């Protein structure tokens, strides 16, 4: 660092780095360009990890999707896997439909629910920490125990859901045992997670909105709903986008609940896409077919995400002035 009197102390490592960067960089964009190059350094850990742990396996699975591989012999078959999946495999479409229905309902409902809960839990009420913990509890219970709890909740006779419905004089259905209601049961189950990760993220987002914004709004005479619509929602929009994108990506890959509780039944009513993929990979030893399924899902999700991000320009507001 140069001292105010112009003298220089011994070169610190910062100086070395800065000098090196300056020397290496071609300042087409001037000082800004140099500055931006730091970005490469910061994302380097991820990039390295990606190249080592992810890129290779991803490419390997892409290659496998064009092969027939049962963990023993490998044979190139071109697009046969894709052809079979898309035209001759009824379970493929069944699992895709099941998953699409699941996503269609659980994502919007879950998102709204989480947001409402986060708003509710953002109050400075006594014991708020306890309340937050109680709402978050369902997400903390591990999958194994959670499955048992839910089997109990949905139990047609001894379960609390039908018991509660009985109060209103409604005879509850067979839930998980009936192919018509099994999927609905899983969707309902996903709603219990609205107190979970998504809500925490919304909470963090809400806490990140500076009080000044609200003060400015109230000075302008805004109240209640208007405040929500013009201050909270825009400031929260990056978080909403985050939860939306990840919600869709995550819901499409729903696996554990179906795997532990119903194993895809009854009669494939809860056969989710990734569960069918898993069966193909590890139970039937059809790694090629499973890889093809994975890449089909990948394309679907990529398309969804790109559409969302493109559309996001219209409604997402970044205080940091950043847009894609």
Partner 1 sequence: MDRRDFLRRTLLAGGGSALAATAGCGMRFQDERDDGRTTIRYMAWGNPEQIAVEREIIRAFEARHPHLRVRLFMVPGSAYADKLQLMLASHTAPDVMRADHYYFPALARKEYFLPLEPFIEREPPGFLDDFVPIAIEEGKWRGRLYGLNVLFGAVMIYYNQDLFAAAGLPDPYELNRQGKWDWQAFLRAARKLTRYENGRAVQFGTNMVTWPLYASVIWNFGGEITDPGITRMTMGNDPGAIAGMQAYADLRWKWHCSPTPAESALSAFTFESGRLAMHWGWAGESPRFRRNIKSFRWDLTTTPSGPAGNFTVVKGNQLCIYRESRHPNEAWEFVKFMTGPEAELLLCGKLRRAVPTRRSVLNDPRYLEADQPPYHTDIFLESIERGRTLPIDWRYQEWSQAFNSALETLFNVNEKDAAAALADASERVTRILAGEEGF
Partner 2 sequence: MTSGGAIKRALVFVALCVGAAIFSVPFLWTVSTALKTNQQVFAVPPQWIPNPPQWGNFRRAWTELPFATFVLNTVTITAIAVVGQVATASLVAYGFARFRFRGRNFLFYLMLSTMMLPAQVTMIPVFLFWRELRLIDTFAPLTVPAYFGGGAFSIFLLRQFFLTIPRDLDEAAMIDGATPFCIFHRILLPLARPAIVTVVLFSFLAHWDDFMGPLIYLNSMERYTVSIGLRMFQDMFGTQLELLMAASLVHVLPTVVLFFVAQRYFIKGVALTGLKG
162-167-171-177 Cα dihedral, nearest 10 degrees = 0
Residue 233 binding result from partner 1, partner 2, none, given CB thresholds of 5 to 8 Å by partner type: none
Rounded CA gap, 58 and 53, in Å?
9
Interacting residues with partner 2 between 242 and 281 (CB under 8 A): 242, 245-246, 249, 253, 255, 274, 277-278, 281
The answer to whether 217 touches 230, Cβ cutoff 8 Å, is: yes
Nearer to partner 1, 88 or 313 (CB): 88
By CB under 8 A, residue 264 contacts partner 1: yes
Q: Looking up tokens 């056969």, which residue turns up?
A: 271
List the alpha helices (DSSP H) in the chain: 13-24, 31-49, 56-64, 80-83, 90-120, 128-140, 143-153, 160-167, 182-191, 197-207, 211-219, 224-227, 233-252, 256-257, 273-278, 287-315
Q: Taking CB within 5 to 8 Å according to partner kind, which of partner 1, partner 2, none is near residue 284?
A: partner 1
Site residues for partner 2, window 85-144 (CB under 8 A)?
A: 117, 119-125, 128-138, 140-144
First-to-last alpha carbon distance for the chain, in angstroms, is 35
Instruction: Tell me which of 152, 315, 317, 318 binds partner 1, using CB under 8 A.
Output: 152
- Between 179 and 278, CB nearer to partner 2: 278
- Give min distance, CB of 94 to partner 1, in A: 10
Closest CA to 135 of 180, 185, 65, 202: 202
Contact partner, 242, from partner 1, partner 2, none, Cβ < 5-8 Å per class: partner 2
Structure tokens at 8: 């220089």
The least distance separating partner 1 from the CB of residue 162, rounded to whole angstroms, comes to 10
Is 151 one of the binding residues for partner 1 (CB under 8 A)? yes
Residue 4: CB minimum distance to partner 1, A? 20
Q: What does 18 interact with, of partner 2, partner 1, none (CB < 5 to 8 A by kind)?
A: partner 2
The smaller minimum CB distance to partner 2, of residues 179 and 234, is found at 234
Stretch that binds partner 1, among 134-142, 163-171, 242-250, 285-293 (CB under 8 A): 285-293
Which residue matches tokens 């201050």? 231
- Measured from the CB atom, is 141 or 179 closer to partner 2? 141
State the burial class of residue 291 (Cβ atoms within 10 Å of its Cβ: 0-12, 13-18, 19+). Answer: buried
Assess 279 for contact with partner 1 (CB under 8 A): yes
Name the β-bridge partners of 76: 67
- Helical pair 90-120 and 182-191, crossing angle rounded to 10 deg: 30
Specify the residue for token string 């590890």: 282
201 belongs to the binding site for partner 2 (CB under 8 A) = yes
Nearer to partner 2, 86 or 143 (CB): 143
Q: Which long-range contacts (CB under 8 A, 24 or more apart) does 159-167 make?
A: none
- Exposed (0-12), middle (13-18) or buried (19+): which is 175, by Cβ within 10 Å? buried
Considering only residues 54-113, where is the footprint of partner 1 by CB under 8 A?
Answer: 68, 70-73, 80-81, 84, 88-89
**Selected range binding partner 1 among 28-36, 108-116, 208-216, 263-271, rule: CB under 8 A:** 263-271
Binding residues for partner 1 (CB under 8 A)? 68, 70-73, 80-81, 84, 88-89, 148, 151-152, 155-158, 174, 177-179, 264-268, 279, 282-286, 289
């Amino acid at each position: 660092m140069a001292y105010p009197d112009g003298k220089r102390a011994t070169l610190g490592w910062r100086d070395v780095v800065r000098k090196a960067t300056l020397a290496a960089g071609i300042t087409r964009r001037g000082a800004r360009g140099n500055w931006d190059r730091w970005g490469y350094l910061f994302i380097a850990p991820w990039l390295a990890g990606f190249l080592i742990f992810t890129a290779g396996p991803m490419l390997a699975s892409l290659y496998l999707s064009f092969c027939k591989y049962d963990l023993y012999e490998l044979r190139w078959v071109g697009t046969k896997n894709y052809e079979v999946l898309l035209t001759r495999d009824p379970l493929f479409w069944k699992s895709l439909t099941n998953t699409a229905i699941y996503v269609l309902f659980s994502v919007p409902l879950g998102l709204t629910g989480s947001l409402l809960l986060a708003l509710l839990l953002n109050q400075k009420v006594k014991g708020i920490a306890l309340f937050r913990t109680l709402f978050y509890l369902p997400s903390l219970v591990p999958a194994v125990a959670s499955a048992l709890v839910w089997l109990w909740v949905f139990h047609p006779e001894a379960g609390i859901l039908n018991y509660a419905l009985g109060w209103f004089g409604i005879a509850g259905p067979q839930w998980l045992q009936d192919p018509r209601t099994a999927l609905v049961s899983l969707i309902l189950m996903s709603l219990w997670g609205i107190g979970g990760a998504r809500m925490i993220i919304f909470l963090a987002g809400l806490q990140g909105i500076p009080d000044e914004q609200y003060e400015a709004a109230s000075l302008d005479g805004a109240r209640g709903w208007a405040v929500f619509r013009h201050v909270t929602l825009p400031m929260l929009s990056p978080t909403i986008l985050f939860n939306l994108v990840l919600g869709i990506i995550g819901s499409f890959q729903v696996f554990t609940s179906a795997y532990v509780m119903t194993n895809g039944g009854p009669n494939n009513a809860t056969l989710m896409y990734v569960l069918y993929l898993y069966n193909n990979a590890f139970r039937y030893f059809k790694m090629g077919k499973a890889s093809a399924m994975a890449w089909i899902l990948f394309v679907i999700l990529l398309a969804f995400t790109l559409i969302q991000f493109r559309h996001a320009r219209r409604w997402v507001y970044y205080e940091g002035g950043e847009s894609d």
